[in-house]
Amino acid sequence: MPAAAPGGDALQSAQAPPGSAAMHRARQHAETRTRERRHRLAHEAARLMAEGGVRDFHQAKLKAAARLGIHDDASLPRNREIEQALREYQRIFLGDLQAEALRQRREAAIRALEFLAGFEPRLVGPVLDGTADAQAPVLLHVHADDPDAVARFLLEHGIPAQARMRRLRLDRERSADLPVWLFGAEDLAFDLTVLPPQALRQAPLSATDGRPIRRASLAQLRTLLAEEEIAAHPHQP
């Protein structure tokens, strides 16, 4: 039997089918372009949220896509990508102004949580996660068997409020249209969503990432502020 050429079998197996290398390069190029577009869209959406007062991630990404002329669904960034870009934008361009607006709203949230203690209130949204700016309302979840009890409580304390409805996903299978009360206090906007008491055991799902909404009780918010104060002044006795 004639001897095989040295390395011949290995060389033959290592050879790629004709055209596969070119296809691989084309796929890599397409993936790189998609990543670049996602990055551009995320940062443009973040700019619109920071400067234009857009509060909804989906609306921000669609406006950004229209401005940049990008209409490829695969290039639309995830909400988390926009949130990360927003934090970066605020850090670079807003700095102390955003930090002051956030501090003001968190301190007001503490007083609101104390005021609404009978409704097991929880702070949610940008004031809790740290992305609130000078236009951001203080978002609160309150809990009551009787949704009208919150309206009566506000009325009894001389607080005029506007009624709205908001649809939230209670879990992966159920959604609900819930009453919302909007009012102003301390030159800030407050936004109260009224949930059933059962929602205390399981937070509604976030529109940002589909996970349970992050929320904080009065005690948890005080702890957060204390920890941030210590982190900001680590060398003080």
Query: Does one domain contain both 72 and 111?
Result: no
Query: Does one domain contain both 89 and 117?
Result: no
Query: Does one domain contain both 37 and 112?
Result: no
Per-residue pLDDT of 23-44, as tens digits, reads 777 777 667 788 888 888 888 8
| pLDDT at position 98 over 90 | no
Per-residue pLDDT of 109-146, as tens digits, reads 999 999 999 999 999 999 999 989 888 999 999 999 99
Question: Token pair of 202, please?
Answer: 């399981």
Could you tell me if residue 3 is inside a domain? no
Could you tell me if residue 13 is inside a domain? no
Angle in degrees, 0-180, between the axes of helices 96-115 and 218-232, rounded to the nearest 10: 150
Could you tell me if residue 66 is inside a domain? yes
Could you tell me if residue 157 is inside a domain? yes
Lowest mean pLDDT among 53-62, 99-108, 172-181, 192-201: 53-62
Query: Does one domain contain both 204 and 110?
Result: yes
Average pLDDT over residues 92-111: 89
- Chain centre to alpha carbon of residue 226: 23
Query: Does one domain contain both 103 and 175?
Result: yes
* Residue 210 backbone class (left: φ over 0; alpha: ψ -120 to 50; beta: rest): left
Residue 13 has a pLDDT of 47
Domain end marker among 94, 125, 158: 94
* Residue with token string 């509604």: 204
* Percentage of residues of the chain with pLDDT beyond 90: 49
Cα torsion angle, 43, 46, 47, 48, sign:
positive
Q: At 200, phi and psi to the nearest 5?
A: -65, -30
Could you tell me if residue 168 is inside a domain? yes
CATH code for position 117? 3.30.460
Residue 11 has a pLDDT of 46
**Domains: count for the chain:** 2
| Whole-number average pLDDT of the chain | 86
pTM: 0.72
The DSSP bridge partners found for residue 181 are 163, 192
Residue 233 has a pLDDT of 65
Could you tell me if residue 83 is inside a domain? yes
Domain span at residue 203?
A: 96-232
Query: Does one domain contain both 86 and 108?
Result: no
Question: How far apart are alpha carbons 160 and 169 in whole angstroms?
Answer: 28
Could you tell me if residue 201 is inside a domain? yes
